[in-house]
A and B are shown apart, each in its own frame.
Chain A
Amino acid sequence: MTKVLLVDDSAVMRKIIQRNIKETGLIVDEFVEAGDGNQALDKVNAVGDLDLILVDWNMPNMSGIEFVKTLRSLNLAKRTPVVMVTTEGSAAKVSEAKNSGADGYLTKPFTADQLRDALGNYLSIQ
């Protein structure tokens, strides 16, 4: 049972990511959604075992980077990889994300191949 947490303040973007994941053949059984970092922390605590967390950077209340830092500092979901999915594409932001505990980085907009490359290490492919 593969569970992925999608964290993005745009419900449309969460739908687009789900559709693209399915279309690229990556196998996910359940998507759990959150609209900001605070909601995401609640979901991590409530859902338990997650196989992957995809998180946007710019969100209200708690940003994606604050979420990653909090997640790692509290040692929550410590075996769950986190991939940032964001329009922030500078080398400095990528470096900040990785130094904060993110395992991967995908810049929006992305192609199907880029999505597969970014998530292929964490999800099975049909």
Chain B
Amino acid sequence: MATATFDNIVEDIISCTNEVFATMIPMEITSDGSFHQKEDMISTDVISLVSFTGEHSGIIAFFGSKKMAMKITSNMLGIEVSSVDQDVKDAMGELTNMIGGTLKNKVFESFGAMHLSVPIVIAGVDLSISSASNKNDKHNVSISPGVTCNSQNSWMMTPFSCEGDTFNMGLVVKKND
């Protein structure tokens, strides 16, 4: 089995996100590298998470503004969306599910088989994620309000631009013992 690396997976995240946006949204997006989000705070309006388990486990997540989420949903449905309603939450969940599913199929060779969870979507104002080390030097990642997960790795963020707005696809991943 090939060794999984962050360098490779950034390209895969960009490729998968581009593919989903080109086919199912459809919207033109551009990517601009990636960065690690370790102990920093993230402030955003909409978070959509899909967790995965297998030889590797972790989370892939969408982080974006309400405006961005509404714009994406409007394009997905072909109708104008003016508030973050159930359709927007459903659409963001499905978006992350498709990106996660496409990524899973793409990285199967290097990361092994994965099982994806159903998406969890949280929408609010200035939602934050904070990481803090515990005694085992793990990062406890808590997503206000009330959703928690544990990761030994920092979030790797891949930013995308779209029609004057931006969103990030975030990933935490670790190899299971």
Contacts and interface: CB of A to CB of B under 8 A. Distances in A.
Interface in B76-102: 76-78, 86-87, 90-91, 93-94, 97-98, 100-102
B23 interface: yes
B78 A109 contact: no
B104 to A, nearest CB: 8
B118 A12 contact: no
Q: Is chain B's binding surface mostly helix, strand, loop or mixed?
A: helix
A43 B73 CA distance: 28
B19 A109 contact: yes
B24 A11 contact: no
Interface size range of chain A in the complex: 20 to 34
Interface string A94-126: 000000000000011111000000000000000
A109 B73 CA distance: 15
Nearest to B97: A87
B108 interface: yes
A108 B24 contact: yes
Given A16-B24, A87-B101, A87-B102, A10 B77 contact: no
Nearest to B20: A109
Given A12-B90, A16-B24, A60-B118, A108 B101 contact: yes
Interface size range of chain B in the complex: 20 to 34
Nearest to B119: A10
A76 interface: no
Given A58-B116, A109-B24, A19 B101 contact: no
Interface string B13-35: 00000011001100000000000
The 8 closest A-B pairs by CB, nearest first: A87-B101, A89-B105, A109-B23, A12-B90, A109-B24, A12-B91, A10-B94, A109-B20
Interface of B: 19-20, 23-24, 73, 76-78, 86-87, 90-91, 93-94, 97-98, 100-102, 104-105, 108, 113, 116, 118
